[in-house]
């Protein structure tokens, strides 16, 4: 992971601007490249336009919610892993089944980074590289 080209590209979508900014800083510190979007449609634009390796998606958002965004992503690029981030526990089960991981807001950055790593490993495992 030494080169810039080798570091994974993560798309981060959250309507909470400040939280998004801080989360981006955390992920960047962990060595990832990060793209951010403040709502679902902007996020989907980036998802289709960029070679995204993984998605960190907030569930509660104005406009499209996390479930709708994930469904759209799955339809076009089902191989890209999605991590659903939410402050709310009782998420619809079909949404949870659709995504690869869920992390509760407030569980802390370590948990988030762990799950991101697992997510990317899963992708590389599927592609034959580790």
Partner 1 sequence: MNLREFNRILRQTLFLPILLLLALAGFAAWQIMRSSASVRAIDRSDELSAQIVELEKLIIDQETGLRGFQLTGDPKMLAPYQAAIDPINHHFDNLHQLMAGRAKQTGRLAEVRDRYQIWLGLAEGVLNKDPATLNDPQLNQHGKQLMDNVRTALDDLLQAESRVRKRRSDATLILERHEFAALVLAALVVGVFLGLFTRSRLHRVSRAYDATLEELERQAEEIYERRQWLQTTLESIGDAVIACNNDGKIEFMNAVAQSLTGWTGQEVLGRPLAEVFHIVNEETREEVENPVEKVFRQQTVVGLANHTVLISRQGKEYVIDDSAAPIRAQDGDTRGVVLVFRDVTEARRTEAALIAGEKLAVAGRLAASIAHEIHNPLDSVANLHFLLASEADSEKRAEYIQLAQQELGRTMQISRTLLSLYREPKAPVPVDLEELADGVLLLLERRLIQQGIQVERDFSEPSLVEGFPAELRQVFTNIFVNALEAAGKGGRIRIRIEPVPAEELRGTGTMVEVTDSGPGISSQAGENLFQPFFTTKGENGTGLGLWVSNGIVQKHGGTIRIANSSNDADLKGACVRVYLPAHTLASTATRATAHVS
Token pair for residue 27?
A: 């992920």
Q: 41-80: which residues touch partner 1 (CB under 8 A)?
A: 60-63, 65
Q: At what angle do helices 40-49 and 66-76 cross, to 10 degrees?
A: 20
Rounded distance between C-alpha atoms, residue 26 and residue 59, angstroms: 20
Does 117 bind partner 1 (CB under 8 A)? Our answer is no
Q: 12-41: which residues touch partner 1 (CB under 8 A)?
A: 15-16, 18-19, 22-23, 25-26, 29
Residue at token pair 């390796």: 53
Q: Which residues bind partner 1 (CB under 8 A)?
A: 15-16, 18-19, 22-23, 25-26, 29, 60-63, 65, 87-89, 104-106, 108-110
């Amino acid at each position: 992971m030494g080169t810039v080209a080798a570091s994974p590209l993560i798309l981060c979508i959250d309507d909470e601007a400040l939280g998004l900014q801080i989360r981006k800083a955390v992920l960047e510190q962990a060595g990832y490249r990060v793209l951010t979007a403040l709502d679902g449609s902007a996020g989907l634009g980036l998802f289709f336009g960029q070679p995204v390796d993984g998605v960190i998606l907030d569930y509660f958002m104005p406009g499209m919610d996390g479930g709708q965004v994930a469904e759209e992503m799955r339809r076009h690029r089902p191989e890209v892993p999605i991590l659903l981030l939410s402050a709310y526990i009782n998420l619809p089960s079909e949404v949870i089944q659709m995504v690869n991981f869920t992390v509760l807001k407030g569980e802390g950055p370590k948990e988030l980074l762990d799950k991101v790593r697992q997510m990317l490993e899963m992708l590389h495992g599927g592609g034959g590289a580790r």
